[in-house]
Amino acid sequence: MRRGAMLYEGKAKRVYSTDESGQCIIEFKDDASAFNGIKKGTIADKGIMNNTMSSYLFAMLSAAGVANHFLERIGEREMLVRRVQIIPLEVIVRNIAAGSMSKRLGIPEGKVLASPVVEFSYKDDALGDPLVNEDHIRALGAATDVEVATLRRLALTVNDLLRERFSSVGITLVDFKLEFGRANSMIFLADEISPDTCRFWDTATGEKLDKDRFRRDLGGVEEGYREVLGRLLSGSAQ
């Protein structure tokens, strides 16, 4: 597999073409950002940890029947993926009130929601990735009604699978965001699943083990990422 030209560079990843039709290489960076790029920094070995975790979880989801772009992990920071056309929506699933939901709705952080809440945001950095409803999505032409229903269904399926897996190692999945892409008339889960895109709390203590440690200047950012990865790979709450 030969790496080709860089197709895209985002806040946390670079995407490269390959000499195989329909395949790309994703390289995970150590760069960190928050609040739509206002706060920037570096988290040591974040790229290695997020690549390892995402590869593990994508493989797990694939085995459970959730189609995704992951093909194989090809290096410490790189994975080989199916080339997809990213749908310009982030699908957010919330099990516990936290972050922007608490601020917007006045729900105390840490309140367990009666059922998972699914939100959509429109992927546009210049607009700050605003929340949108199904009417907005239709007006923007971002996805069809059938696709939106599929995204919601897949996101809730992923939520069930991830909650069970992380619960088994003493971690509570508070909320997370997903991205999806189109290829060959199908929808595939894409992007990454990591402490960059999920809120993870230690089930016993409530300690934050995700990017909120960076956002809120709590310290121990790398340690939080390593803790989640270590538990996941060892299968133990330690």
pLDDT of residue 238: 63
186 and 101 fall within a common domain: yes
Residue 229 belongs to some domain of the structure? no
pLDDT band at 70, cuts 50/70/90? very high
pLDDT of residue 143: 98
Asked if pLDDT for residue 133 goes beyond 90, the answer is yes
78 and 91 fall within a common domain: no
Percent of the chain with pLDDT over 70: 99
Burial class (CB in 10 A: 0-12, 13-18, 19+), 122: middle
49 and 128 fall within a common domain: no
When divided into structural domains, the chain yields a total of 2
pLDDT tens for residues 191-206?
999 999 999 999 999 9
Asked if pLDDT for residue 225 goes beyond 80, the answer is yes
102 and 203 fall within a common domain: yes
CA distance to 90, 113, 191, per residue, from 87 (Å):
8, 27, 11
3-state secondary structure 140-153: HCCCCHHHHHHHHH
pLDDT of residue 38: 77
130 and 49 fall within a common domain: no
Residue 216 belongs to some domain of the structure? yes
Residue 206 belongs to some domain of the structure? yes
pLDDT of residue 161: 98
110 and 186 fall within a common domain: yes
What is the average pLDDT score of the chain?
96
pTM of the model: 0.95
Give 129 or 237, the one with higher predicted confidence: 129
pLDDT of residue 237: 74
Asked if pLDDT for residue 100 goes beyond 80, the answer is yes
pLDDT of residue 39: 83
Whether the CB-CB separation of 91 and 157 falls below 8 Å is answered with no
30 and 109 fall within a common domain: no
37 and 126 fall within a common domain: no
Asked if pLDDT for residue 218 goes beyond 70, the answer is yes
Q: What is the mean pLDDT of residues 41-69?
A: 97
- Domain range for 52 is 3-82
Q: At what angle do helices 46-63 and 145-167 cross, to 10 degrees?
A: 110
pLDDT tens for residues 9-32?
999 999 999 999 899 999 999 999
Of the candidates 222, 197, 195, the one whose C-alpha atom is nearest the C-alpha of residue 210 is 195
Residue 210, SS3 per DSSP: coil
pLDDT of residue 34: 83
